[in-house]
Each structure stands twice: as structure tokens, then as C-alpha cells.
Amino acid sequence: MKALPTNDINTGVKQRSAGRWIVPGLVFFLAGVALTAAWFYRGAWSHAATGADAARPGTALSGATRAVLQNLDSPVEIRLYTMLDAASVPESVQAFAGRVDQLVGQYEQASGGRVRVTRCSSFSTASANAAQADGIKGFNMDKGDSCFLGIAVVCGDGKESLPQLAPEWEQAVEPDLTRAIVRAVASRPGAQPVARADTASLDAVRKAIPNLDAVSIEDGRKVLRDASQAQFIQTMGDMNTQIEDAEQRFLQAVATQSEAAQQAASEQIQKIQKERSRKLQQIAFASHAQMAALEQLKKTAP
């Protein structure tokens, strides 16, 4: 099969997610908060990583992912494309594809029948065209057959894609896939509307966007996202400094073979990580509420 032309997809799931924070259902939102926080701090400290921070395809699904799967109210199809030419794709990438296959299998098992996985690994013109139609980005076209390694999530008319997976971002596969499921479900016709915003959030939006009537809803979302991102960055910087100090104490304890000091440093790191997660969740909650307030204010504007 000759290399097929493929659309240059410049935006992936992570990039498209910025303007689509509001999703139906409190459980879905809480899962999104947890995944958002995990995305910011995952991998920041790996000396004694355990549980969700050490997660990768092939290990147990996170609690946030399980919450999403167990509260699906519509069937979801995960389409996994692993069309890889052994002559041009490194063995490390092929092994990574195998772990992703195991991961989506866990989604299917944990969903209680709500998720169905469709796999495509054989090379043909039809399968390549199907991959491109699902937003999967081809690669290695100059070396022979067009290769595809990506995921499409379909729920009714809602569709999201992870255009090209890579081993370098392996730890992000689960949170990215779960967010894609949330968005695909939320974008289908008949999705439940967001609850009315609280007074504090309405006031916060009016303060952040004083000329609200003259600002489009997309521009308003950008203002709120930028403010939220700045808070995330500031919080991450402050908390990471504390973690780095604790890391140094841990390494010093390792060098001196002091088990007591190692334990103390490890507990301190875990304490800081929990506090960081709490603060990031607060920011995410506030941002979500303000996005809902913006929607409400623009819909009720004269």
C-alpha cells in the first residue's frame, strides 16, 4: 500500500480542550478536576512515586477514570489505531502501542459494558482512510506505508481524537483519553445543561470582564482561562519549590543512609503534594464555576 496523503492535524485533544471545560454531571467534573491537577504535577517527583503518580498504560486505572466510566449514561466506542510498519517503526514504539492496547482493554473491562473497543492494526487503503476520517495523524509516509498510532472516541455524534500517541507522553495517555471520553459524551445532542452559577462566581466574572456586554463568549472564556492558568502556574511554582527542598533532604538522607530522615522527607513530599493537589482543585473548581457563570450571563444578556 502506497503512502496516503494525510491532513496535517495541528491541534490535539489537549489543545482543543481549552474552550470546553463545562461538562454535564458533578461526577464528570470532579474527575476532570482530578485529572487536571494530576496533569500539572504528575512526574514532578519520581524518587518514591506510587499510585496514580506512577501510573502508565498497563497499570491500574485511576479513581477519576473509574468514576467517569461507571457514570457513563451513553455507550462509548474507543477506536484504537495501531497500524505500524515494523520496518520503519522502532521496537520501543511498537511496545508502547501494546501497552496502550492493554490500557484501552482496561477501560472496556471497567466500564461494565458502557465502553466498546474497536482495534485496527492491519494495513489497507480502507483502514488508512478510516484513521484519517477519525482525525488520526499519519506518520513515516516517506519510509513506506503510512503508519497510524492514535485513538478516536465516539459517543453518538460526539467525537474526540488523540491524533498521534508517543512514548514520550506515555503518562498522559490515561488522563488525555478520559478527558476525551468526557468531552465526547458532553458534546452529544441532548447532553444535560450546566447548573446555574452561584452569586460569587457571577460577581467574579463581572469583575474579571467589566465590559462583558461588548465581549464575545469565546473572548470571555479566554480571559477566564488565562487567569486560571496564571493561578495554576503560580501555585505550581510555589509548591514545586517546597518539593525541591524536600527532595534535596531526601537525597541527602539517601547519601547518609539515614532511613529515618528518608522517611521524614518522603512524608513531607507527600504532604506537600496533597496540599498542592488541594490548591489546584480549588482553582479548577473556581474556574469551572466562573465558566458556568459566563455562560449564564451571556445567555441572559438583553
The tens digit of pLDDT for each residue in 169-199 reads: 888 888 889 888 888 887 766 554 444 557 8
pLDDT at 153 over 90: yes
Same domain membership, residue 170 and residue 147: yes
Structural domain harbouring 47? 13-186
Same domain membership, residue 288 and residue 143: no
Q: Look at the chain and report how many structural domains it folds into.
A: 2
Q: Of the residues 164, 186, 208, which one is the last residue of a structural domain?
A: 186
Q: Of the residues 186, 212, 246, which one is the last residue of a structural domain?
A: 186
The answer to pTM > 0.75 is no
Same domain membership, residue 214 and residue 125: no
Mean pLDDT to the nearest integer, 148-172: 91
Give the DSSP H/E element, type plus range, for residue 119.
Answer: strand 115-120
Chain center to CA of 189: 22
pLDDT at 162 over 90: yes
Same domain membership, residue 220 and residue 134: no
Same domain membership, residue 141 and residue 223: no
Contact (Cβ atoms closer than 8 angstroms) between residue 128 and residue 180? no
The pLDDT of residue 64 is 72
DSSP 150-204: EEEEEETTEEEEE----GGGGGGHHHHHHHHHHHHHHTSTTPPPPPPPPHHHHHH
10-30 pLDDT per residue, tens: 333 333 333 333 334 444 544
197-227 pLDDT per residue, tens: 578 888 888 999 999 888 888 888 888 888 8
Q: Of the residues 142, 160, 186, which one is the last residue of a structural domain?
A: 186
Is 1 a domain residue? Answer: no
pLDDT at 57 over 70: no
